[in-house]
Copies of this chain bind each other. A is one copy, B any other.
Amino acid sequence: MTRVAVAQLWIDIDDPAGTRQGLVEAVAEAAASGAEVVVLPELATSGYVFVDVAEANARAEPLTGDTVSLYRELSLRHDVIVVAGFNERSHGERPYNSLVVVEAGEVLACYRKTHLWGTEKLVFTPGRERAPVVDTRVGRIGAMICYDLEFPEMVRDVALRGAQLVVAPSNWPAVRAVAGERPPEVTKAQASAAVNRVFVLVADRVGPERGVDWIGGSLVADPDGYLVDALTLGEPAVRVVDLDLDLALDKSAGAYNDVMSDRRPELYG
């Protein structure tokens, strides 16, 4: 079993020091609970609601900057794999909405969000590379960011490359809520877990920020598509779950089916 933590952080773009402090404490709490992997939200140190490109650029950092250095240090200090988002400086006009996968103080992968949501299109440059699938000491981790997860092709692609755990640092803005129903983002994450027989983990954020509210819908779904755990909507929290990631190596569905080899790619247009 692999103990995995999801940290649903309180993030405030107008309080970077407090945001950073909360992040540091969350990783420490996860590690103290025995987590080997800690997943943090999208843009976990910067916040999300940038006024414009100028502000997004002013707060962007290179891969060698403070945020990724912090993730590396936390990974070393607590002996955990850290997956977390950051606002990455680019050589172009706009920064990237990126994440890193860090193990033993080393950056194993840096991924730049390829499907930009809402006003992200006004302040970020979309990535041009596929989502990474990273070999770690606990197994293969596929990583993408927030809206990426709503493209089934994207999850299929990392699953076909062997991802056992698909993680998605996210900032899910609260849109229309329907009483008694899970947000559609949650349903999509569950379905993506099930159709690929992988674990899917979303680390969402909370904290109203410049007028935007967030679902706070962090979750872990198992290869059957059921929620292993779902954090209380809207509350900041660190939660650990024990996952048998080997289950995601088995794509069989009953005695006669396999969700991967049953595919008929020649019929999908």
Contact = CB atoms under 8 A, between A and B. Distances in A.
Interface of A: 114-115, 117-122, 126, 128-131, 147, 150-154, 156-157, 160-161, 175-176, 178, 181, 184, 187-188, 190-192, 194-195, 224-227, 254-257, 259, 262-265, 267-269
A178 B268 contact: no
Contact of A153 (B154, B191, B268): B268
A163 to B, nearest CB: 12
Contacts of A178: 226
Contacts of A181: 226-227
A42 to B, nearest CB: 16
A118 B224 CA distance: 17
Contact of A119 (B153, B192, B256): B256
A188 B259 CA distance: 13
Contacts of A267: 114, 128-131, 154, 157
Contacts of A115: 262, 264
Contacts of A152: 152-153, 156, 191, 195
B269 A130 contact: yes
Contact of A118 (B184, B227, B254): B254
A160 B151 CA distance: 14
A129 to B, nearest CB: 7
Nearest to A191: B191
